[in-house]
Amino acid sequence: GLPLITFSPDDFQATAAFNQLTLLAKFSSSVPHVNVFDVHVNTAWGLSQPATVGSLDPRHISIQLHSMDDLSIAWSRFSRTFNGQPFLLLRWSAAYKRHDSPQAALWMRLPGLPLPLHNPSFLKAIGDSLGRFLRSDDFTRKLKNPRVARLCVEMDLSAPLPPAFAVAIGELKVHQRIIYESRIPFCTRCRLQGHSDISCRNKKRKLPSVESVPSAPSGKAPSGGLLPAGTPSPGPNNFLPTMLVASSPTAHHLFVILPK
C-alpha cells in the first residue's frame, strides 16, 4: 500500500497559523506571469516589508504578507485589477480550491458620526464590533473630513450585512447609518465570491407554492415568531428603528458599547 505520513492536529494548526497572513489573488482566467505580478505587489501596494508572491495553481497567486499591518494594507486595496484583468483578493483557506473564504474587506462610510467617536480607539472598537477592523483612510485619521468616517472592516459575506448600528455612551444611545461603498456578492450554495444565490447557475430555481408562503399578521415576523414590543411589522414603508438593541450573530443591527 501507499506510505502513510501522520501529523498531529496541533502541529498542523500551528503551521496553518502562518497562513493567516496569506492572501490569494484569484483570476477568472489564466493568471499573469508571477514575476510580473510580484513586481506589481511589491512596488504598488505600499507594503512595509516585501511580500512573497508565488504561483499556486492556474487561477491563484499566493501573497504571503509578514505583518498584520501589511495584511490590512494589501487587503483593503480598492483597486483589484492588473493589466486590465480583474481579480478577487481572498483570505487563504484549506478548501480554497473548492470554496472561497466568505471573509472580505469592505470599505464603509459612517455619515454624521459624532466627532468624539472619530478617535482611533473608538473607530477600532466600532470596526471590531461589526467584524474585524482593518484600517481607516487618511482623511479620517487626520480629521480632514469630519462629516463622515471611512473605515475598512473584514466582514463575513455569508451573513446579512447590518445597515446600521447603535452606540451606547452611558445613558445616551446614538443610531448610526452604514453606507457600504461596495458589496461583494457571495453564493452560500457554491461558497464562491462573485455571484449571489439568485444568479447561481447551479441552483435549481423552485418557485414556492402559494400554500408554502403564509402571510404574517401584524405583530409577527415573517417566520411566525412574535416581534418585540413596539417593533413595527416588516413592510416597504417601515424605516429602521432609531434605537437598536439586537445583538444576536444573525441580527441585521448591532449594539456597540464603546470602551471606557
What was the pLDDT predicted at 201? 72
What was the pLDDT predicted at 203? 67
Identify the sign of the CA torsion 78, 40, 104, 168: negative
Determine the average pLDDT of the residues in 223-238: 44
pTM, to two decimals = 0.70
Which contiguous run of DSSP H or E holds residue 41? helix 34-44
73-94 burial by CB neighbour count: b if 16+ within 10 A, else e?
bbbbeeeeebeeeebbbbbbbe
Q: Give the residue with greater pLDDT, 229 vs 51.
A: 51
Beta bridge partners of 23: 63, 91
pLDDT at 249 over 50: no
Q: Which has the closest alpha carbon to 85: 23, 43, 32, 36?
A: 32
Q: Which has the closest alpha carbon to 51: 12, 25, 15?
A: 25
Q: Give the residue with greater pLDDT, 62 vs 18.
A: 62
Do residues 88 and 124 lie in contact, with contact meaning Cβ atoms separated by under 8 Å? no
pLDDT at 241 over 60: no
Half-sphere exposure of 128 (CA within 13 A, CB side): 9
Do residues 177 and 161 lie in contact, with contact meaning Cβ atoms separated by under 8 Å? no
What was the pLDDT predicted at 254? 55
The rounded distance, in Å, linking the Cα atoms of 200 and 181 is 23
What was the pLDDT predicted at 260? 55
DSSP strands (E only) in 66-195: 81-82, 85-91, 103-111, 132-136, 148-156, 164-169, 172-177, 179-180, 186-187, 192-193
pLDDT at 144 over 50: yes
**Among the four given CATH numbers 2.60.60, 3.40.390, 3.30.70, 3.40.50, the one describing domain 20-91:** 3.30.70
Beta bridge partners of 168: 173, 257
Mean per-residue pLDDT over the chain, rounded? 79
What was the pLDDT predicted at 115? 93
Query: Residue type at 19?
Result: N
Grid cell digits, residue 93? 483557506
What was the pLDDT predicted at 200? 77
Do residues 174 and 126 lie in contact, with contact meaning Cβ atoms separated by under 8 Å? no
**What are the residue ranges of CATH 3.30.70 in the chain?**
20-91
What was the pLDDT predicted at 107? 96
Structure confidence by residue, pLDDT tens digits, 172-228: 888 999 999 987 777 777 767 766 666 677 765 554 544 544 544 545 444 444 444
Q: Give the residue with greater pLDDT, 66 vs 99.
A: 66
What was the pLDDT predicted at 106? 93
- The pLDDT confidence band at residue 88, using thresholds 50, 70 and 90, is confident
- Other Cβ atoms closer than 10 A to 250: 7
Determine the average pLDDT of the residues in 42-59: 94
Half-sphere exposure of 161 (CA within 13 A, CB side): 24
